[in-house]
Amino acid sequence: MTTYTIEIACDHTDKNAFCNWLNNQGNNAEIGNTTGNYINGICTSTEPEANEIMNNLWDNYCADLD
């Protein structure tokens, strides 16, 4: 399993629960001071690959909630 260093946007609705879930999955996640999300230092709003990774992580998080 690939793990990532993740910064979650400070205005993300589920930032605390998502951050905890990411860390429990072996990632190094923290809540940032900006409204951007970052994967390994790359902004997800400007890099399609980073955005895809974040979307996949979010989808897996949501699936675990069901």
From the number of C-beta atoms within 10 Å of its C-beta (0-12, 13-18, 19+), residue 58 rates as middle
Write out the two tokens for 31. Answer: 């809540």
Local confidence band at 31 (pLDDT 50, 70, 90 cut-offs):
very high
Contact by Cβ (8 Å): 15, 8: yes
**Global pTM?**
0.93
Strand extents, DSSP E, 1-66: 5-8, 28-31, 38-39, 42-43
What is the average per-residue pLDDT within 46-57?
97
What pLDDT was estimated at residue 2?
92
What pLDDT was estimated at residue 1?
74
What is the average per-residue pLDDT within 14-36?
97
Residue 42 has pLDDT above 90, yes or no: yes
